[in-house]
Amino acid sequence: MSTPRLHCDQRLVDAAEVVATPGQAHYLGGVMRRAVGDAVTLFNAEDGEWAAVIASLRKDRASFRLGARQRPPEPMADTRLLLAALKRDAMGWAIEKATELGIGMIQPVLTRRSVAERVNGERLSAIAREAAEQCERLSVPAIAPAKPLATVLDAWDGAPLLVGAERLAVPPLAQAAADLAPPWGLLIGPEGGFDPLELADLRRRPWARPVNLGPRVLRAETAAVAALAVLQSLAGDWTPR
């Protein structure tokens, strides 16, 4: 029987009791059929991962008693995904996979050709949290509120930003990332690509690096996952420095 693994916003170090959220209580009792005394694993980015047992459990209420720490906190690389707003299922899938790949922050952006006009940030945060619980990472990526692309670019801090631009004569992603180290960002546009005005704006910004993502035109969510895998291998937390 697998041990449920739960992310906790509450600090774990020196905690006399850790209180579950109503959703976690329902999950443990109603879905996983756990009971008082059963083992769970609790984690967060600040305190690492801890063994625990269920101290109390009633419908939408539960609490935990901490045991020993199993993993200390780990530094999280400053890696960022800027993703054009996609349709509901595609966006959720991309958030889940980006979390599994270890991205540090996800910024939904609204572009001229975005197929979605709004983004449910609470839903995406829940998807990221569940993915972090499943993939055994210690942190949950921050999901920033959706903003227009130009607004995000105007506030950018100068970190290298790789821009998927499959229709331009630009270097391949692996070549452009050869000298890359965190902090860095990846920008993936909407289905149909960026508007010419957006591309012109990006090319005026010295820290933006348009890159080619291969010989085929990829769906936006596929492009995000494929590019993140390459970047994590070359310059992310798959390659400790």
What is the reported pLDDT for 241? 56
Residue 78 has pLDDT above 80, yes or no: yes
Decide if 86 contacts 111 (C-beta within 8 A).
no
For the segment 169-218, what is each residue's pLDDT rounded down to a tens digit? 899 999 999 889 999 999 999 988 999 999 999 999 999 999 999 999 89
The CATH number of domain 5-71 is 3.30.56.10: no
pTM summary value: 0.94
Alpha-carbon radius of gyration of the chain: 20
Q: What is the mean pLDDT of residues 96-101?
A: 98
Percentage of residues of the chain with pLDDT beyond 90: 85
Structure tokens at 118: 């709004």
For the segment 14-27, what is each residue's pLDDT rounded down to a tens digit? 888 999 999 999 99
Rounded CA gap, 126 and 91, in Å?
13
Strand order of the β-sheet with 39-44 is: 5-7, 39-44, 48-58, 61-71, 18-19
The CATH number for 79-235, chosen from 3.40.1280.10, 2.60.40.10, 3.40.50.620, 3.30.420.40, is 3.40.1280.10
> What ranges do the domains of the chain cover?
5-71, 79-235
Structure tokens at 214: 């291969």
CB count in 10 Å sphere of residue 27: 17
Amino acid at 237: D
C-alpha torsion sign, points 165, 170, 173, 179? negative
Residue 166 has pLDDT above 80, yes or no: no
Residue 116 has pLDDT above 70, yes or no: yes
pLDDT band at 167 (very low <50, low <70, confident <90, very high): confident
